[in-house]
Structure 1
Amino acid sequence: MGRARKGTWKRSGDHFLVYVTLPQSAVPGAKDRRLPGIVVRKGVNGRTPTEADLDKLAKLYTDRPDLALARLAEEGRLPDWVPIELVPRDALLRGATANPTAASAAGSLIETVASYADRWLAWRDRQGYSSIANYTSGLKGQVLRVKVGDTTIGEKPIAAITRDDVKRVAAHFRDEAAAERIASHTATRYFSYFRAMLAAAADEDGDPDLYVRPDNPALGVKGPPTPKQQTRACFYPDEFLQFVSCEAIPLNGRRLVAVAVYLMVRLGELARLRCEDIDLAHERITIARSYDSARKREKAPKNGRARSFGLEINVIPLLRVMIDEAGGSGIVCPINVYKLADVFTEYLDRAGLKRADLRQRSRTHVPLTMHGLRATGATWAARSGRYGAIELRRVLGHQKQETTDVYFDEAQLMGRNVGEVFPPLPACLLNRSGKRSGRR
């Protein structure tokens, strides 16, 4: 039978250091299990500790390694090889408060949620994820400021976040949405950012620099209620023809709107559409790239996959003219699609389109925007009867079928006397515009 473990101590200047070696079962595979020395400056009632006092303290820390780890956490001196589950959560919080330098150090066992959020956001940015600005503002401006007891979520060590903390964050955003201080969709998004970050922190198979805790406290926590699907405004065919025929709107702007509707693509995809992507002989198009407006660079389409599909017959004459004017190669659209989005409402005014649904925004309704032109095309496609649910999903590049099915519901709500969807385009769009002013 081996000797009982009791720890050791030694004098170091004006204080003593107590050393504890963790049992092998606590850190299997670790060669050196000895913890850094725990500082002891004074004994009982402020007197210098005796050898007997130090022996007892070394034995206590050996029998109760959680107390030793708590002390080291509070001093900001926990070694990285210590499994985080061995450290009391309240000690992590005290350590982060007492040692802001250690709390902001990447990978520190007392690294705060705020520090970890910076690293996680930077990682997402490097991976090329979209909506990085939304994630940044949502986390830093909202989630990290949520109060939990006497502190905020951002000030707590990420390793010390509990299931109750996650529930408090969810309750905070439920209350904010119920009081209409933020929109229900926004509350749901903010909580989803927090949940995604915690999932990364507990993902053993993910980026090793982001793996900082063995469990995900957000699993099974019910977030803010999923808001009802908002209705989206879309052009009626007669309104669309009124818009694209309006001579008060620049020709290239009208053409871009027509192409956006008939191709049913995202703005970023439209911005990087090349003549070579369009096969007029076989009446097909391939969406192979998109544009990252935040990073000012080209990227893959959403979900990382290219897609090909047949063209609506009535857009082919316009595409033929635009390709010819582009010289048969390069970017099809000669203007900045994002700048057109900024003046889209003004163009609605010029076209005399005043229908309330096109303009008004509410908790249940989204007005017509340049991005919404894709929704117009998708709703028309569902209305036409020429597209099955799965086929339309592939055309739109949706990951989930339920995202596509929304447009079949919208198509039923358009009304009866809406006219022919994807109508022949007016001849004014096919007039030669002359020399192109430049390419994006």
Structure 2
Amino acid sequence: MGKLSMIAVGLCTTLAVWAQETPADFTTQVPLAVSGNGPWYRLELPLAVQLAARQADLSDVRVFNAAGEPQAYALSRQTSERTESRNITDVKWFPLYASDTRDASPGVTMKATTAGTLVEIKPSSGAKPGKQVLRGWVLDASAIKAPLQQLSLDWSRDHEGFQRFSIEASDDLQHWESWGDGQVARLSFADERVEQHDVSLPGQSARYLRLMWQGQAAPRLTSAKLVSASSSSLPLPLVWSQPLAGSRLKAGEYSWQLPVGLNVERLRVELKQPNTLAPVTLAGRRDSQQAWQPLSNGLLYRLTQNGQDVVQDELRLPGQVVNQLKLQVDERGGGLGVEAPALRFAVRATQLVFLARGEPPFTLALGNASVKAANLPLSTLIPDYSAARVKALGQATLSTEVVVKSPAVVAPTEAGTDWKKLGLWAVLLLGVAALGGMAYSLLRKPPVAR
């Protein structure tokens, strides 16, 4: 029976070697350059990689060394585990007055306690006397220690329309850093009320926020909330596609075919014409055989206010895999035109970490609709895994750009002669025949006389 075991082991080894994947099994191969401390390296996969893959979950991504040997790897769309909690904090607000709406920076004196809590804002000694205009607000975020992710405002009901303001951050009430612009709105449209209260923040820490209305008086705030989360639990950023052309199905209805199935999290619809106002409903599906599933709805607009364009052209999606998108527009607002607008989509950036084994150069390979997933959990790939440890790993980058050879998922090839598969079956059948012959010969031997 020892010979039988040896043959079985040899047969399994042969089959394993024959069945091992090689770079040639994938439609796209891109050389990698590595730097920093190994043997683990992390690679930020650009969107082009996801478009060149043939499986939406990137199960067909591999890394090979110079000898064509596959490397152990892990995939992650997060810097760590998914966000555990989001803290929502009601904060105090203090008014900022100026002599007119053109005053970019009102002269004020701000006082805070030793703990950082803001207690008073009053006009500075050099402030102009006379009637004062409410120009903005200072928010006290000194009690929040985590990075700020989102601002949510509510204001008096007698202020309809758009509220556009600048956002600045400070830790000492003296030096202010720009955090960009914010925009909220309260609109009445077609017997419906549309309200937008939330503004995204850059995910940084600050004790104080200063909101300054641009070219108009600020409304009276009735509520101010800040959403914060720890930096170690933040997801990787979104990556945006190039404009994607669509088609018009009928009046007020447009569709787009994505290059591959993707976990889309956000869309940006091109609004070419000024004074566009369009309530929309978005649906998606995996293929044309499935029914459309609702994904999102909202109000898209591009309006002129105080000589500036006020634009809301994005829709948030739940992040499920879709291949096709359909947008239905309520044309009572004027619609989006005869031609389908261009569309940009955003997906979550993906990080690949691999354990370098063998000699470089290493190659990223992808593009195979039939292979099975081979990635490991990060905690398995890196025994003492932590988010801080991942950030300290060596870096891998693409040496050349990824070229997407086909905009659609590769269909299974037509039935033909698969010599590799026939060879595997031949080896298997020969092995089984050899095992059977040996077993038969052993059974036919006469028993040994004792």
TM normalised by structure 1 equals 0.20
The structure, 1 or 2, with the larger RCO (C-alpha pairs under 8 Å, 6+ apart) is 2
Under a length normalisation based on structure 2, what TM-score does the superposition of the two structures give? 0.20
Q: Quick check: which one's strand share is greater?
A: 2
